[in-house]
Amino acid sequence: MSTKLEVKNVSYEYSPNTPFAASALTDVSCAFEAGMITGLIGHTGSGKSTLVQMLNGLLRPVSGQILLDGRDIWENPKQLSRVRYRVGLVFQYPEYQLFEETVSADIAYGPKNMGLDGAEIDARVREAAEFVGLEADLLDKSPFELSGGQKRRVAIAGILAMRPEVLVLDEPAAGLDPIGRETIFDAVRAYQQAREATVIIVSHSMEDMAKYAERLVVMSESRVILAGTPDEIFRRADLLCSIGLDVPQITRTMMRLSELGLPCRTDIFTIEAAKEEILRLWGKERENA
Amino acid sequence: MLKDITLGQYFPGNSILHRLDPRVKIVLTVLYIVALFLAKSMLSFVFILCVTVLLVLLSRINLRVILKGMKPILFIMVFTMILNLFFTRGEGEPLVHVAFVRIYREGITTAVYMLVRIVCLLAGTSILLTYTTSPITLTDGIEQLLAPLSVLHVPVHEFAMMMTIALRFIPTLIEETDKIMSAQKARGADFTSGSLLHRVRALIPILIPLFVSAFRRADELAIAMECRCYRGGAGRTRMNRLHMHIRDYGALVCMVLFGAGIVVLNIYTSRIGYGL
């Protein structure tokens, strides 16, 4: 396991030297492993979105460093756009950034800025559309004719077409229905596996994180307070609850069952695992009876 | 960056200026501006400067905030000063005469007067109105001041509602612009380098989403207002009605005295021959 992107003692403050000054990040350090999906969770206002904008150099840390493959991204500020092609950032509600006449032109905006030639751009647009499951006949439509979920996928494809080594998504599934959520997360996972990309997902949904994330970073009040595998994190239910977060619903159910006296495991975060555990208990009960 | 614009922003507080009736404040501002342009002599400008400083103190708003609000017009200030300095022709010998450049005593005084006038204009009006009055009360004040015009079928209420909505959405749109800019930067957009044409083109990916979202917001707002049975101004009552207090009458009297003071100072200085 190697570290792809590292945040080292980073601090940030909004509107410094005004009555509205507010600290957004305080001495934050964390590492994102290459080729893994890392979930970034935290209550509203915990600094997640600020941290995310640091990762591709949209915000400059007041102090500290962001290291991409071991090199400070601010080492040469003129090369920042190159960093932004390598670290693709999908904002919250990215469908509001669409502007081109056709879907394919909008997806091509990033690659065009990279200075690629026509054939390469075309290939990338097709590939990105495929990742997010956009049908070919949608490519010539205006992005403003599409449904909300489709627009979201176009916007994500716009980032994927840059073929970033690190893909960062801020609440990619916010406001979508369950099928829409699944489509998005599956697209992200398909991209991660095909390109061996490092993925960072900001999310409020513990269920989604339990299902997709391989590692989790927990933020509270502009600090990173926990980092580890979902297993390690969701064991700390008390701590999570105390900072306004939660464990997945299914974990809650298992914890309640155990409180009620059933000898079941509580380190269960997905429905599949819960099903197995309950069947196991059920089997045991039957034997006893 | 974009969020740092403070011109026309309200700073919550509880000073006497915050508590004045918005109608009075609008009238005060108009009187204040008239007084500024009546001033002709050094004494009256000193007087204006003193009153403006007093206003700043009364508002209890950080001086740094006020100075920051002036930054955007710094260029205009410098430009006006330079123009006045070099192009005012005075009587008598010029103070400096190098080649075609002639600077007269009158030039210097006019330049300084203009500077004082612009600074006071901006500081005074923003303290009297925008910094100390929330946009909502401000439009309330405007609506009531203009109410007599509705006899002439001027749609005063609609006008005030439009103002309220416009003011309400300025910060929202600024935030939105910031967000869209960041999103396009993440896709490699570059707004700072290249030829002028290139930079203008680079704005398209910001402007289109911004317009789309402005129309979307307008649509949503219209629906939300209709859901709450908004049908325009006729027969609409208010929850918070404006009342004049003693302090409001007092403020009006002070401002009239201020204007009168300037006129008197003008006449006085012209009598004793200091009028410049």
- pLDDT at residue B275 in the model: 45
pLDDT of residue A231: 86
Higher-scoring residue by pLDDT: B191, B27:
B27
Average pLDDT over residues A149-163: 94
The predicted structure's pLDDT at residue A18: 65
Q: Are residues A231 and A258 in the same domain?
A: no
Q: Give the pLDDT of residue B136.
A: 78
Which range marks the domain in which residue A138 is found?
A: 3-247
- The kind and range of the H/E element at B97 are strand B96-98
Are A239 and A283 contained in the same domain?
A: no
Q: Convert the pLDDT of each residue in A173-217 to its tens digit.
A: 988 898 999 999 999 999 999 999 999 999 988 888 988 999 999
Each residue of B59-83: pLDDT tens digit? Answer: 888 888 888 878 888 888 899 888 8
**Same structural domain, A30 and A90:** yes
Q: What is the per-residue pLDDT for B107?
A: 85
Tell me whether B11 touches chain A (CB under 8 Å): yes
Number of domains in chain A: 2
- A96, B184: Cβ pair inside 8 Å? no
Sign of CA dihedral B179, B184, B190, B195: negative
pLDDT band at A1 (very low <50, low <70, confident <90, very high): low
The reply to whether A157 and A284 lie within a common domain is no
For B5, the enclosing helix (H) or strand (E) is none
Domain ranges of chain B: 2-147+242-272, 153-227
Q: Are A36 and A198 in contact (CB under 8 A)?
A: yes
If asked whether residues A65 and A103 sit together in one domain, one would say yes
Is there a single domain that holds both residue A186 and residue A265?
no
Secondary structure letter of residue B60 according to DSSP: T
A187 shares its domain with A284: no
Are the Cβ atoms of A97 and B4 closer than 8 angstroms?
no
User: Does position B114 have pLDDT exceeding 80, yes or no?
Assistant: yes
Is residue A15 predicted with pLDDT exceeding 80?
Answer: no
| Residues A221 and A262 both lie in one domain | no
Is residue A61 within 8 A of residue A72, CB to CB? The reply is no
Residues 53-92 of A with CB under 8 A from B: 53, 56, 58, 81, 84-85, 88-91
Of A157-161, A278-282, B9-13, give the range with the top mean pLDDT: A157-161
Provide the terminal-to-terminal Cα distance of chain A, rounded to the nearest Å: 48
pLDDT tens-place string over residues A240-260: 888 888 888 888 888 888 889
Residues A160 and A225 in one domain: yes
Q: For position B1, what pLDDT does the model report?
A: 43
The mean of the pLDDT values for chain A is 90
Regarding whether A165 and A26 lie in a shared domain, the answer is yes
Question: The domain that contains A147 carries what CATH number?
Answer: 3.40.50.300
Indicate whether A233 and A254 sit together in one domain.
no
Pairing of strands A87-90, A166-170: parallel
Q: In this model, does residue B7 exceed pLDDT 70?
A: no
Cβ contact, residue pair A110, B179, below 8 Å: no
Query: What is the percent of chain B where pLDDT is above 90?
Result: 18
pLDDT for the residue numbered B243: 83
Same domain, A147 and A239: yes
What was the ipTM of the complex prediction?
A: 0.86
| Angstroms from B71 CA to nearest CA on chain A | 15
